[in-house]
């Protein structure tokens, strides 16, 4: 990030599709950020029920106690999908797509083109 001229301290929000170690492993490098995700995902991380969940959620990724911002209710539609609007710009949505994990979500981002 520094090589690209981006100050890591300017990162305010991280939006998680899910918390498997290959996605959450870098959270520890941004302890000041708000980490946005679906409640079912945090619940699955906190109480893994299967051997795969116990393997795929590395609790070491969360020892810095991330500043979770949790969502559960879909209050809007994004095309035909139930969607959870996120409270910052650019306009973004969590789109529940449970399956890969209990709380897996897609992320839709308004790109300003349409």
Judged by the rule CB under 5 A, the positions of this chain that interact with Zn ion are 20
Rounded to the nearest whole angstrom, what is the least distance from the CB of residue 46 to Zn ion in the complex?
Answer: 17
Smallest gap from Cβ 57 to Zn ion, in A, equals: 10
DSSP states of 35-98: EEEEHHHHHHHHS--SHHHHHHS-GGGGTT--EEEEE----EEETTEEEEE-SSSS-EEEEE-T
Residue of this chain nearest to Zn ion (CB atom):
20
Q: Which residue, 20 or 38, is less far from Zn ion as judged by CB?
A: 20
Comparing CB distances to Zn ion, the nearer of 51 and 79 is: 51
The minimum distance between CB 77 and Zn ion, in angstroms, equals: 26
Interstrand relation of 13-15 and 81-85 (parallel, antiparallel or unpaired): unpaired
Nearer of residues 1 and 60 to Zn ion, judged by Cβ: 60
Q: Are 20 and 54 in contact (CB under 8 A)?
A: no
């Amino acid at each position: 990030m520094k090589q690209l001229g981006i100050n890591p301290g300017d990162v305010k929000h991280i939006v998680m599709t899910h918390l498997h170690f290959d996605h959450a492993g870098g959270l520890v490098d941004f302890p000041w950020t708000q980490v946005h995700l679906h409640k079912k995902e945090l619940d699955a991380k906190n109480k893994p029920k299967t051997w795969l969940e116990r393997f795929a959620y590395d609790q070491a990724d969360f020892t810095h106690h991330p500043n979770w911002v949790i969502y559960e209710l879909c209050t809007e539609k994004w095309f035909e999908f139930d969607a959870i609007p996120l409270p910052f710009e650019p306009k973004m949505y969590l789109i529940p797509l449970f399956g890969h994990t209990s709380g897996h979500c897609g992320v839709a981002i308004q790109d300003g083109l349409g």
